Chains A and B, each alone.
Chain A
Amino acid sequence: MDITNNLYEKFKEKFEGVNGECHRVSTMESLADLMSDILTQKGVKTLSIFESPLSQASNLKEKLSGAGFEVHTDDLLSSTAHDDAGITEVKWGIAELGTLVQIAPEVDNRLCSTLVPIHIALLKTSSVLPELDDMLETIHSLPQIPGFVGFMSGPSRSSDIERILEIGVHGPEQVIAILVDE
């Protein structure tokens, strides 16, 4: 428990250091409520969800639709091009760097985490690994390397104009991580 807390704290610190926003909930029940608050606060009206174990176990689609948001779970190519936010589940976190790691061979998973201006990533708190090398070993020990593995450390950025750092280029302008204990 202590280790998980330490890893969470480290992850949060590093993730915020790369302009990410970090939240934590203890139960799946409370996930939808927190999500609703965040979306409202950010003025999100429409969103795409790439369904996953966490999104389904917490009934995200029903609860958010019920709360008045327009939720899309199919035809994601067209919805992610216009929606205000995208929700996907990621497989791991790397505490050392504040990185979210997704296994996303599915095109919709990638669209939902790249094309949208706001990306909300769901992650099991227990899946935060300590270091980059742990992550590489973990991926390497899978039966085969997945077709697409994506590391995401905060929102997109560039310093190409006069070396001034600008957050939000082609990828998401905001990235929110919600870690779920249950």
Chain B
Amino acid sequence: MANNELKKEIANALENNVLRGALGRFAQAYPIAREKAFTGYDFEALRDKVQEVKSFAANNIDEMIDQFEKNATARGAKVFRAANAKEANEYVKKVANDNNVQRIVKSKSMASEEILLNESLREEGMDVQETDLGELIIALAGHHPSHMVLPAIHLTKEQVADLFTDYTKKKNEPVISYLVKTARVAMRKKFLEADMGVSGANMAIAETGTLMMMTNEGNGRLTSTIPRVHVYIVGIEKIIPKFTDASYILKTLPRNGTAQNITTYVSMYTGATEAYLADGSKGTKDFHIVILDNGRRNMLKDQKFKQMFNCVRCAACINVCPAFQLVGGHVYGGHAYTGGIGTLLTAFLTSEKTASKVQNLCLQCGKCKEVCAGKLDIPEMILELRQKYTSETGLPFTQRFALDVVSNRKLFHSMLRIASVAQKPFTKGQQVIRHLPMFLSGLTEGRSLPAIAEKPFRDIFPTIKQEVKEPKGKIALYAGCLLDFVYPKIGIGVVSALNEAGYQVIFPKEQSCCGAPATYMGDKENALKSAILNVEALSSEKVDYVVSACPTCTHALKEYKILLKDNSEMLQKAEELDNKAFDFSKLITMLGGLEDKGDGEPLKVTYHDSCHLKRKLGVYQEQRDLLTNTKGVELVEMNESDRCCGFAGSYSIKFPEISGPILDRKIQNILETGADVVAVDCPGCLMQISGGLDQKSPQIKVKHTAELLLEKRKD
């Protein structure tokens, strides 16, 4: 099964200390450097504009291509529209042959790697030299790029020194400045002897026929200046409407990609320029622009994937991805494109098979979406792919079985009740399971699992005395699996707080799993079953609001209207549910907050932002205010408070080897605060973080905000 192959690749990558070190250091430095680069600039406003101009081009692609071709041709460029890789490669071969080209130099072009241009030209017996330092290095190593902007990040200077020693037949010391000099001297000769240059472009301006290249090393300028023939390979998504539109990309791409204010060089070519010809005289070079489709138009055909044209290839998404930071682009990517965006590009442009394998690595944490210069919803698109591949090939039997059980409320709840009894040998009377036996032992490595509660919340609820004088209204509590069967105390805290805010709480008993596990595993069928079940359950009685203390569930409840958009009977109820459903901290704040109260006992609390609460629901301040307004609480912020804890639902079961190190980093950040308690608003994060702390620093407790409020505010 594809997953076995993937698991092996992951294991190899995780054992590669060089790779992990390099990626880890970059992950630490990047957010700080990026923030500095954007100081004084409005990132949100800029990326709104990037999205605007790129979508305009995407929506008018034929006009744009026509306009670009017309304007470039008028200035002496020869423009060729390549439908696919084969056509592009054939064309470039022809240009080379027609011009007696033997030696070719290349500056960076990912599109050329996508179509495997080098291989095609080498088959003709031509010499093809990558001149970009990183590309040169990986070409010598025989590797594919492990990162879109830093392709050789996985190699040490010692490894580069060895490669250069072989290449130059002279001993190269592992000193970076000497190695760079070696590259400079070796490439100089290549530039001066080259018959043809091949480059990629960052932008193609329809209005003027101009190509813009953003580079740092100078090889882009040399490749496009010295040879008498020059070819640009440009994907159709690079076209933007107007010359001044370039401003938005010039301002975001360098800052997002390498935290620079501007790349060292921005080279703008409009038409054919002057070059030295074969006979030594100066004349106009033979200038070609290959406009490449190769699957890009298929992105435009699908409403959900059209936004891919907004990508400026800055790789910021890769730079903040917790999974990528651990395994790198050779695992999380295709042969040309890497990371989250790389998975999507690979699906459309190079290999659906590879994409279907590597998309599994996405945690759905949403951090990439936050930094994307083109406002792409990368996690949403990956989920689309996941659902597509799941419906085509089906889920592995055990996963399918589990999801089928979960969407059957009576069966699921019976099994949980059985499990609460059967677990006793493993809990040994504790609230946690520290060691599962045999083949399940991996599940408790580095993280203890909580025991299933003896009495689920749904059984406790009827026993709760709600004393609400003059109730302002009624709120339905949606519990979700973890709160109901593992952490019922959170539910008690929620009821108490809502009572204090003046509301009566009801618990519709027909509710069951929200269906998120099915959704995130790509099982639309079971997700739909859960949607129908819960919409019915939650609209059985009229309420003012629906509260949930698990953001993943909250988000799921709000999204049922999308799952049920074709179900005319249920759609209205689903829309009503969206309007009424809120996460606990948000709802309490909306209802006017709570009185400043508290036992006054000093308690140092740090806060972990759950991915879905912060990035899907936009809630991150309300809970902090609730905590700081509780007498005795001292709130200290941790580093990377909104970085994923590694739980990511079923991900922590499918990829514990990735989930584990992500959790380790979260724990490290927690320990550095010196806090006594970690507050969270998600039972999933609670389970993950407390499981990790239980094995490493059990003196630090993890509590749901609702539970913490209950404990510190009760009289």
Contact = CB atoms under 8 A, between A and B. Distances in A.
Nearest to A150: B267
Interface in A154-171: 154-164, 166, 168-171
Given A136-B247, A161-B179, A156 B216 contact: yes
A164 B530 CA distance: 51
Nearest to A137: B244
Interface stretch (B217-225, B547-555, B610-618, B676-684): B217-225
A124 B160 CA distance: 43
A10 interface: no
Contacts of B137: 160-161
Given A147-B269, A150-B265, A151-B265, A168 B184 contact: yes
A168 B217 CA distance: 8
Q: How large is the interface on A (under 10, 10 to 19, 20 to 34, 35 or more residues)?
A: 35 or more
A14 B264 CA distance: 12
Interface in A70-94: 77, 81
A97 interface: yes
A162 B156 contact: yes
B75 interface: yes
Given A114-B225, A160-B150, A136 B246 contact: yes
Interface of A: 14, 18, 77, 81, 97, 99, 105-107, 110-111, 114-115, 132-133, 136-137, 139-140, 144-164, 166, 168-172
Nearest to B221: A114
A18 B25 contact: no
A169 B218 contact: yes
Contact of A107 (B219, B250, B276): B276
**Which of A14, A107, A146 has the most chain B CB atoms closer than 10 A to its own CB?**
A107
B264 A133 contact: no
A166 B271 contact: no
Q: Which 4 A-B pairs have the closest CB atoms?
A: A171-B218, A160-B134, A151-B266, A156-B218
A162 B217 contact: no
Interface of B: 22, 25-26, 29, 75, 131-134, 137, 150-153, 155-157, 160, 176-177, 179-180, 183-184, 187-188, 191-192, 208, 210, 216-219, 221-222, 225-226, 243-244, 246-247, 250-251, 258, 261-276, 280, 282
B261 A97 contact: yes
B217 A152 contact: no
Contacts of B160: 161
Contacts of A161: 133, 137, 152, 155, 157, 160, 176, 179-180
Nearest to B192: A81
A122 B507 CA distance: 77
A157 B225 contact: no
Contact of B264 (A137, A144, A147, A156): A156
B135 to A, nearest CB: 9
Contacts of A97: 261-262
A169 B268 contact: no
A151 B266 CA distance: 5
A2 to B, nearest CB: 22
Nearest to B210: A145
Nearest to B250: A132
A159 B272 CA distance: 31
Contacts of A158: 133-134, 180, 216-217
A76 B480 CA distance: 75
B179 A145 contact: no
Given A97-B261, A148-B267, A150-B221, 4 more contacts: A97-B262, A114-B225, A132-B262, A154-B264
Contacts of B273: 105, 107, 147-148
A66 to B, nearest CB: 29
A38 to B, nearest CB: 21
A166 B176 contact: yes
B318 to A, nearest CB: 14
Contact of A155 (B29, B156, B262, B264): B264
B218 A132 contact: no
A105 B268 CA distance: 10
Contacts of A133: 244, 247
A163 B22 contact: yes
Contact of A160 (B29, B151, B243, B268): B151
B144 to A, nearest CB: 15
Given A159-B258, A164-B176, A170 B131 contact: yes
B73 to A, nearest CB: 14
Nearest to B209: A145
Contact of B265 (A146, A163, A171): A171
B265 A152 contact: yes
15 contacts: A107-B225, A107-B276, A107-B282, A110-B225, A133-B244, A144-B270, A147-B272, A153-B263, A157-B217, A160-B137, A160-B150, A160-B152, A169-B218, A171-B221, A171-B222
Contact of B274 (A107, A144, A166): A107
B369 to A, nearest CB: 25
Nearest to B183: A169
